[in-house]
Amino acid sequence: MGYDRDAYQRNRADALFRMGFHSEVIGRTDEAVKKYENALQAYPAHYESHVQLGRIFRKKGQEEKAEHHDEMARRSKAKLPLEVRRRVPSEERIEISPPRTVDRSVTGGVEDLPDPEGDARTKTLLPLVWDAFYGRFEGLRGIQRLAAPVVMDGQNALIISSTAGGKTEALFAPLVQRLIVEGWKGLSMIYVSPTKALATDIRGRLDQMLRPLGVRAALRSGDRKELDRDNPQDVLVTTPESLDSLLSHAPETVRGVRAIVLDELHMVDGTYRGDQLRVLLRRIASLASGTVSVYAASATVSDPLGLAGRYMVSPQIVTSPGSRGIDYRIVPSLEQATRVFRERGLKKCLIFCNTPEEVETLAHGELKRYFPAHVLKVHHGKLEASRRQEAERALRLDDRAVCVCTSTLEVGVDIGDIDMVILANRPRSVASIAQRIGRANRREERIRTVAVARSSAEVAYYEKVFEAIVRSRYSSEARSFDPSVAVQQLLSMLAGPEPRTIDELRVLFRGILTIEDLGEIIEHLSDGGWTERREDERWTATGKARELGPKLYSNIPGSESIAVVEMETDVPIGNVALPVDNIFILGGQAWQVRRR
């Protein structure tokens, strides 16, 4: 797809920031400052690095430097010009071609055709669960026919299918059949979602299918903790962070686990959370009393075997036939994008942004010129669950709804039929674009989408991407294991009830981290007062590490945030990043700070 220097520099800055953050956690502040400054050299508008440097310099009493980075953080967040950028002399300036409008269709690949005989064969494999999972459908999707025998055979597998391809049923139907037939007891299946919103949605969908079978499911996320540790449910729906916390606090809970499902794996692979998940799988395998099968679902990627191999042993790759066509328009402004939606008389739309800040800015600003206030909704990870669910209900049930959102609605949350998807900003990966536009027209053979391109280069990029998505020829963003995740995972493990020997720690990181690197990280943690070696030569976390609380289990980069509560009703609204002005935007509304 070509070299995207801006995205590369942002990713490099993210990696340097994370290394700096972990250096700061273990008390190496000077080292952290260097990493943050290196991140800004790679990408001068890196908001998180400016925020952290502002905090550090203020603690050191270097107020002038702190104010500089606070101002740069504000400018980065508001996308204002940065004074630190080099001014290009007039003779060096390059004339950038204005973007053009493009209106095209791309036809999909092989159609996913009905196969009554294949459905009948699959039904014989799943007699106990057929009605609960598939009784309401006229026929199966191709991926559901192909996945059933592989999962029933107990093989590790990665299944690849487009959005709305039926991946959830393709994995859960045969797994629940095995659970019943083989007599699995207690917590035996774990489903890991990349987002809390998807976890909540999947929990509700599974309950409808599992309850008639006498199988119980529980949700464990930052919003809800339903798992009964004394009498655990059969299926746990969770996120990487909440699973990490469970393994640290109650490792005995996973001893009976027989299968793990990793949904939308492409969303976390090649990120800190993906690396965290790789270690969590090893921790579960070391705690479980029997063999644990691993299953993953993903959008199309260029190297499926490489993706699967990072999370499971000897994987089978199951790929769905068929892909939907795309009717797309590329326009130079959001105003033109919304005009396309309105002129076509459409009723429901998702407008995707990359950050919660972008969502709030658009919802409270420009979009109010194009849509009535009661139609506009917002959805992102910093909102309270009740606020996100309110937006989801509006998309499902209201006659008209326009929701401005981030990747929280990129994956399979039930939001009903969406008439169009607008890409307000270019996502950071082709896989993400595929997921976002795939949310539109889920019951139709063609996707309707409008992309906002602010340069001719972006127009050409989108044209190539849409063609690649239909042809299923795009790459995943893989990278090697990030040692900074080892810092977080070591603290998480050592904060648990059982101290660990050095040999136990080496086994968990074998093949993804050298013995030398692991030893150096353990030494740094010990020197910083985060871990200690007991008299029996086993390692444990100190009180200082345990005081980190929930931060101990997270690998999501970001700045400090604070909870927002409405004074009159005492109802939580969400979280806003620090520093915060006296008037700020959250949930598509303006709020004034009355008490801090």
32-85 pLDDT per residue, tens: 888 889 889 888 888 888 888 988 887 777 877 888 888 888 888 766 555 443
Task: Evaluate if pTM is beyond 0.85.
Answer: no
Query: Is 272 in contact with 555 (CB distance < 8 Å)?
Result: yes
Q: Tally Cβ neighbours within 10 Å of residue 413.
A: 26
Smallest CA-to-CA distance from 402 within 380, 442, 374 is with 374
Do 283 and 309 lie in one domain? The reply is yes
Handedness of CA 378, 383, 387, 392 (dihedral sign): positive
In a domain? residue 259: yes
Query: What is the pairing mode between strands 583-586 and 446-452?
Result: unpaired
User: Domain boundary residue among 471, 491, 510?
Assistant: 471
Residue 91: per-residue pLDDT: 39
Residue 246: per-residue pLDDT: 96
Which CATH number covers residue 228?
A: 3.40.50.300
154: left (phi over 0), alpha (psi -120 to 50) or beta: left
Residues whose CB falls within 8 Å of the CB of residue 544, separated by 6 or more in sequence, listed in order: 529, 530
Residue 207: per-residue pLDDT: 92
**Pair of tokens at residue 434:** 């595929």
Report which DSSP code applies to 328: E
Residue 583: per-residue pLDDT: 45
In a domain? residue 566: no
In the sheet with 217-220, reading across from the earlier edge strand, the strands are 217-220, 235-238, 189-192, 259-262, 293-298, 157-160, 316-319
Residue 581: per-residue pLDDT: 46
Do 282 and 141 lie in one domain? The reply is yes
Please count the structural domains in the chain: 4
Residue 210: per-residue pLDDT: 97
**If you compute the radius of gyration of the chain from its CA atoms, what whole number of angstroms results?**
24
**Pair of tokens at residue 80:** 């204002």
Do 494 and 545 lie in one domain? The reply is yes
3-state class of 230 per DSSP?
Answer: coil
The Cα–Cα gap between 165 and 173 comes to 15
Residue 475: per-residue pLDDT: 58
Residue 566: per-residue pLDDT: 63
Counting as low any pLDDT under 50, the low residues of the chain are: 1-3, 83-96, 559, 578-584
Residue 359: per-residue pLDDT: 94
Q: Which amino acid, residue 417?
A: D
Print the domain residue range for 154: 125-319
Q: Tally Cβ neighbours within 10 Å of residue 110.
A: 10
Query: Strands, DSSP E only, in 338-486?
Result: 348-352, 376-379, 401-405, 420-423, 446-452
Do 213 and 286 lie in one domain? The reply is yes
The Cα–Cα gap between 167 and 445 comes to 18
Do 211 and 131 lie in one domain? The reply is yes
In a domain? residue 588: no
Inter-helix orientation angle 502-509/272-287, to 10°: 120
Do 163 and 302 lie in one domain? The reply is yes
Residue 3: per-residue pLDDT: 45
In a domain? residue 88: no
